[in-house]
């Protein structure tokens, strides 16, 4: 199982890859006012999204703070890989 950031056209996606399954766990995108960020949830939780964050690193930390991978796996040893991967599409 892997949790990693993936560069896409509009910003970054936090991804979970577990065997054949891939899930998007959250995302960050650059706007004219800074960065917007969201962490995936089942249902409605407006606290898991934030706008106008000052830096990309702060936006990534916001998403990771929710540990959205715990919605899909119960492994307490999950670590987000430090390298950002390129997307294929």
Q: What is the pLDDT of residues 29-49, one digit of tens each?
A: 999 999 999 999 998 999 999
Asked if residue 66 belongs to a domain, the reply is yes
**Global confidence as pTM:** 0.91
- Identify the pLDDT of residue 26: 98
Asked if residue 19 belongs to a domain, the reply is yes
Asked if residue 88 belongs to a domain, the reply is no
In this prediction, residues 6-24 reach a mean pLDDT of 94
- Identify the pLDDT of residue 89: 52
In this prediction, residues 7-21 reach a mean pLDDT of 93
- Phi/psi-derived region of residue 72, left when phi > 0, alpha when psi is between -120 and 50, beta in every other case: alpha
Of the given ranges (1-5, 74-78, 80-84), which has the lowest mean pLDDT?
74-78
Domain boundaries, position 26? 2-73
Give the Cα separation of 53 and 63 in Å (integer). 11
* pLDDT cut 90: percent of the chain above it: 80
Residue whose pair of structure tokens reads 């949830």 in the numeric block: 41
In this structure, what token pair is assigned to residue 18?
């577990």
């Amino acid at each position: 199982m892997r949790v990693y950031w993936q560069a896409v056209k509009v910003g970054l996606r936090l991804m979970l890859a577990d065997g054949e399954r891939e899930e998007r766990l959250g995302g960050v995108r650059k706007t004219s006012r800074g960065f917007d960020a969201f962490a995936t949830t089942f249902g409605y939780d407006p606290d898991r999204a934030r706008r106008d964050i000052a830096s990309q690193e702060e936006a990534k930390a916001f998403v990771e703070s929710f540990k959205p991978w715990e919605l899909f796996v119960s492994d307490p040893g999950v670590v987000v890989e430090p390298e950002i991967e390129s997307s294929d599409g």
